[in-house]
Amino acid sequence: MKCPKCEVELQTGRIDSVVVDECPQCNGAWFDGGELREAKDQTDPDLNWMDFELWMHQDRFKVAQKERDCPECGVGMVAVDYDDTRVEIDHCVLCEGVWLDGGEFQKIIDSLTEELLTKDLPGYIRESLKEAVEILTGPERLLSEWRDFRTVLRMLQYRVLTGNLALAKALADIQKGSPFK
């Protein structure tokens, strides 16, 4: 499988039971659709923070067809943006995989941190968010601990890809417009 950005061969790694394909050149990472589905099906009480503010407003998601192709099926991916977070997720509607550019994890962390600093939140929500930031920024290098990794996968799946009905519809509409049904 080749990097959708630089075309070099992705390196397959395994974190616990999760398979990740990373680009040695741009540090982007490919998450298989199956891994995402599996992550979503697991429940974790630590993830209460996802029920609050973060990426909550469905109308603030923007989707756009991208020229970048899915490394797995070769069809054009769809870019998903949220408001002014500058987080961009490349998603393949066909296989439901996700591509994150190198540094995209950091942006997700930044947007969590910003919520924490700027919003006037009730104490318990603040605590949940703080916990989430700690999970994501822990002492271990990012991706080096499967817990961090699973957390991000679940967030992507739950909050962005299937937990959001308006977005799911927009993605489906784009898919209808493509020759791949």
Positions in the binding site for Zn ion (CB under 5 A):
3, 5-6, 23, 25-26, 28, 70, 72-73, 92, 94-95
DSSP state of 137: H
CB of 37 to Zn ion, least distance (A): 14
Cα–Cα dist 82/76, whole Å: 20
CB of 133 to Zn ion, least distance (A): 27
Q: Which uninterrupted H or E stretch holds 132?
A: helix 123-137
Nearer to Zn ion, 6 or 56 (CB): 6
CB of 54 to Zn ion, least distance (A): 26
Cα–chain center distance at 157: 7
Nearer to Zn ion, 50 or 100 (CB): 100
CB of 8 to Zn ion, least distance (A): 6
DSSP state of 179: S
Nearer to Zn ion, 3 or 161 (CB): 3
Nearer to Zn ion, 50 or 170 (CB): 170
Sign for the CA dihedral angle at 164, 129, 156, 46 comes to negative
CB of 95 to Zn ion, least distance (A): 3
Nearer to Zn ion, 49 or 105 (CB): 105
Cα–chain center distance at 136: 13
Q: Please, are residues 5 and 101 in contact by the beta-carbon 8 Å criterion?
A: yes
Q: What strand order describes the sheet that includes 88-91? A: 11-15, 18-22, 29-31, 98-100, 88-91, 76-82, 61-69
